[in-house]
Amino acid sequence: MGIPKLSETVKRLWNGWELRMVMLVSLFLQIFLILFGRRRKYTAGFWIGNLVWLAYLSADWVATFSLGILAQKIGDSETNCTNSNRGVIPAFWAPVLLVHLGGPDTITAYSMEDNELWLRHLLVLGSQVAVAFYAFTRSWWSEDPLLFVAIPIFVAGIIKYGERNWVLRSASSKQCRNEMNELSRKFEEFSNPDVFEMTDEPVVGEVGLSDIILEAKFLHEADLCFQMFRVLFADLVLGDSIHLATHIFQQKNAMEAFKLIEVEMGFMYDVLYTKLAKVRSSRVIFRATTFLCLVSALLAFSIGMTENNHAYLTAEITISYLLLYGAIVIEIYSVVLLLFSDWAMLWLTGQRKPLFNSVYRTICSSRFLNNDKRWESRMAQHNLIRFQLSKRKLTSISLKKLLGKLESISLRKLLGKLKSISLKKLLGKSNIQSLEDVGDDLKDLIFEHLLDKRRRYKLMMRSPDPGSNDLHAILSERGDQVIGREKCLGNFGWSVKLPDFNDSLLTWHIATDICYHDDVRKNGGGDAINIHPNCKMSIELSNYMVYLLVDYPFLLPRGIGNERYIQTCSAVNDDATLLERIVSDQHSSWDFGRTISKLQKSRRKVSVLCAGFKLAKSLQTLVRRDGWENQRKWEMISQVWVEMLTYAASHCGWKEHARTLTRGGELLTHVCLLMAHLGLSEQCLTTGF
C-alpha cells in the first residue's frame, strides 16, 4: 500500500512542478554561463572547462524541452481552467525561453565547429519561434489577463536569438574569409618596404596612432596587428605590409611584445566564441531595444499583479519575477562586461579627448573596474619518466594491498583489469602533472631567439641569399642551427635530424631530464639550488612540449609521436628499478656506459629511451672532457628547446591554434603569432623573391 501511494505522490509533484523546475533550471544555466563562460579565455581549469561544456550543451536542450512542456501545459489549462484564472500559466514564459536560447554574451560558441553550424541554428531559430508563437496563441483561450506582457519579450527573444545566429555566421570560416579579402586590401597602403626604415614617430602618424595617450597605445597597436592576424587566420597571405607589424614589435622588449600578443589573443577569442566583438558600436541599438523590452515587461507584469493578484498561483508569480529579474540582471551584467572590456577601452581612447582619456586612466587604475583578464602566463608540465614511474608505483602498491586481502580469483581478475583504467582518462582529464609560470627570463629567451631569426632573414634583401634570408630554411630549424653555431653538429646533429620530429623531441626530453638529475647528483645530496637558471627553463620547455605531444598532438608536426611515447613508457616500465635510482636525486653512483648497455639489451627496441641516454652522455661529456662550463651547456640546451618550440609553432595551422584559445591559450600559440608579426611565417612571404 505504501509504494502505490508514494508513487502517486511523486507523480502529482512532478506534474505540478515539472514546468516550474525546468524554467528555473534554464535560468540557472544562463546565469552560470554568463558568469563562467568567459573564464575559458584566461584559465585552463579542468573543472571549469567541463562544467561550461555541460552547461552550454544543456542550456539549449533544457530551453527546447521547456517549450514543448509549456505548449502542452497551456493546452491543458484551456480545458481545466474554464471558469477561473487560477492555475493559468503566464503566456510570456514561452518568449522568455527564446531569450534564453539567444544565450549570454560571454559564450556564443563552445568550439569553432559551432560557428560552422550556423545554418542549423538558423533552422532551430525558425522552429523554436514557431513553437513559442504556438504556445502564445493558445494562451488567447486561457483567459490570461496579462497576455500583452509577452509581446515585448517576444521582440527581445527574437532579437537575442537572431543576434546569436548572426554572430555564429560572422565567425564561420567562409564569412571570415570574405571579410578578410576586404581587410587585406586595407594593408596595401602599407606595402611600401620603406616603412621598415622609418623611425617610430613617422610610423605612428602613418597608421593613425597619433594623439593616443601613452597608456593606451599598446591597445591600438594590438588592434592593428590583430587585423593582420585575422588575415593570416583566414589562410590569406600578407605581403610587404608585414613590415608594419615587424616595425612595431622590434621597438618592444619581450614583456611588451608578449603583452601585445595577449591582447590580440583576447580579441580573437571574443570574435570566435562570444558576442562582445559584434554587439558594440552600431549594434548597440539592438541591445538597448532588448533591455527596454524586458524592463517594460517587468513593469507591466508588476502593475498587472497589483490589479489582478489572484490571476496566478503564488509559485507562478514568484517564478515569473525570477525569470524577468534574471533576464534584466543578465543584460545589465553583459553591458558592464562590454563597458570594461578591451573593446570599450579601445573605443574610449580612440576618441582622443581629455575626458575620455581621464575615464580610461580611472578604469585602469582601479583593480575593481579593470577586470578584463587575459592570459594566465602558465604552461602545463608532463615529465615522461616521472609520470610513468609514479603511475606504476601508485597502481602496484594499492593493488597489492587490495589483492592480498582478496581470496576470490574472479575478483582478482576483475581488479587486475580495473587497475589499468585511469579515472583521469575516464573523466577526459589531461596528463598535466603541474603548471609552471612563463617567467620573464623565458620570455626574454624566446624573444631574443626570434629576433635573431629575424635578423638572419633580411626581409629587405631582394637578391636571393640562401645563407641569410632563406625563410623556409630558417623555419625548418629545429635545433641544428644552435648546435651548428656551437660546432657540435658532428656529436649531436643526429638527434635533431631524425626523420620524425617527435622522435627528436622525446630524445631531447629524456636527455634533458637525465642531464638535470646527473647534475643534481653531482652537487651532492640532491641539492638543486645551484643549478643554472637555463637548466630550469630547459626542463620547463621540455616538459611542456611532451605535454603537447601527449594531450594535444594536433599542435605539433604530424608523425608517430603518440606511438613512440607509448613504446618509451613501456621501456621505462621494463627498467623501472634502474630509472627510479637515477631520478631519485640521491648521491648514488651510476654509470652512463653500464646504463646504456643495459638499455640496449631491452626488448623495446623502438623506444627512444636508449637514444635519450646516449644524447645525455654526449652532453655531459662536453663538461667532463671538452672543458665546457655547465652554464654554457645549459644555455645551448635551452636554445635547442626554444628552436624546437618555434619549429612546432610554425608547422601548425591557425585553426588548431584558435582551438587552444578556449583553454586559456597556449605558449605555443603566442610564439606562433609573435613569429608571424616578425615576418617569420610562410604566409608573410613578400613579392620579389
pLDDT at 44: 66
Model pLDDT for residues 143-189, shown as the tens digit of each residue: 666 788 888 999 999 998 888 888 898 888 888 777 766 665 555 55
**In the predicted model, is pLDDT for residue 433 greater than 80?**
yes
Q: Name the pairing type of β-strands 378-381 and 434-437.
A: antiparallel
pLDDT at 235: 74
Half-sphere exposure of 403 (CA within 13 A, CB side): 16
Q: Which residue type does 556 have?
A: L
Model pLDDT for residues 226-276, shown as the tens digit of each residue: 887 887 777 777 666 666 777 788 888 999 999 999 999 989 998 899 888
Mean pLDDT of 332-357: 86
Q: How confident is the model at residue 321 (pLDDT cuts 50, 70, 90)?
A: very high
Q: How confident is the model at residue 292 (pLDDT cuts 50, 70, 90)?
A: very high
C-alpha torsion angle, residues 652, 658, 659, 661 (rounded to 10) = 120
Model pLDDT for residues 442-477, shown as the tens digit of each residue: 999 999 999 998 888 765 454 455 544 578 888 888
pLDDT at 137: 77
**In the predicted model, is pLDDT for residue 678 greater than 80?**
yes
Distance (Å, whole) CA 166 – CA 341: 21
Most confident of 60-64, 317-321, 505-509: 505-509
pLDDT at 417: 42
pLDDT at 418: 41
pLDDT at 27: 93
**Largest Cα–Cα separation, the chain:** 101
Mean pLDDT of 547-559: 89
pLDDT at 567: 87
**In the predicted model, is pLDDT for residue 544 greater than 50?**
yes
Worst-scoring range by mean pLDDT, 12-16, 28-32, 593-597? Answer: 12-16
Q: How confident is the model at residue 142 (pLDDT cuts 50, 70, 90)?
A: low
> Mean pLDDT of all residues in the chain?
79
Model pLDDT for residues 96-141, shown as the tens digit of each residue: 988 998 888 888 988 888 888 888 888 888 888 888 888 777 766 6
Q: How confident is the model at residue 283 (pLDDT cuts 50, 70, 90)?
A: low
pLDDT at 409: 42
Check the CA dihedral 226-227-229-234 and report its sign. positive
Q: Where are the domains of the chain?
A: 1-375, 429-651
pLDDT at 32: 93
C-alpha torsion angle, residues 153, 159, 165, 168 (rounded to 10) = -110
- In angstroms, the first-to-last Cα distance of the chain is 90
Model pLDDT for residues 581-619, shown as the tens digit of each residue: 777 766 566 677 777 777 776 666 667 888 888 898 888
pTM of the shown model: 0.85
Q: Which residue type does 603 have?
A: R
Q: Where is pLDDT greater, at 604 or 199?
A: 604
Instruction: Using a pLDDT cut of 90, give the percent of the chain over it.
Output: 18
Cell 493558445 belongs to 138
pLDDT at 415: 44
pLDDT at 447: 94
Helix (H) or strand (E) holding 443: helix 440-456
> Using a CB cutoff of 8 Å and minimum separation of 24, what contacts does 517-525 make?
517/582, 517/583, 517/585, 518/616, 518/620, 519/630, 520/585, 521/585, 521/586, 521/587, 521/588, 524/587, 525/586, 525/587
Which residues lie below 8 Å from residue 17, measured CB to CB, with a gap of 6+? Answer: 315
Q: How confident is the model at residue 643 (pLDDT cuts 50, 70, 90)?
A: very high
pLDDT at 190: 54
Q: What are phi and psi of 379, to 5 degrees?
A: -135, 140
CA nearest to 104, candidates 274, 236, 230, 232: 274
Instruction: Using a pLDDT cut of 70, give the percent of the chain over it.
Output: 75
pLDDT at 148: 83
pLDDT at 587: 56
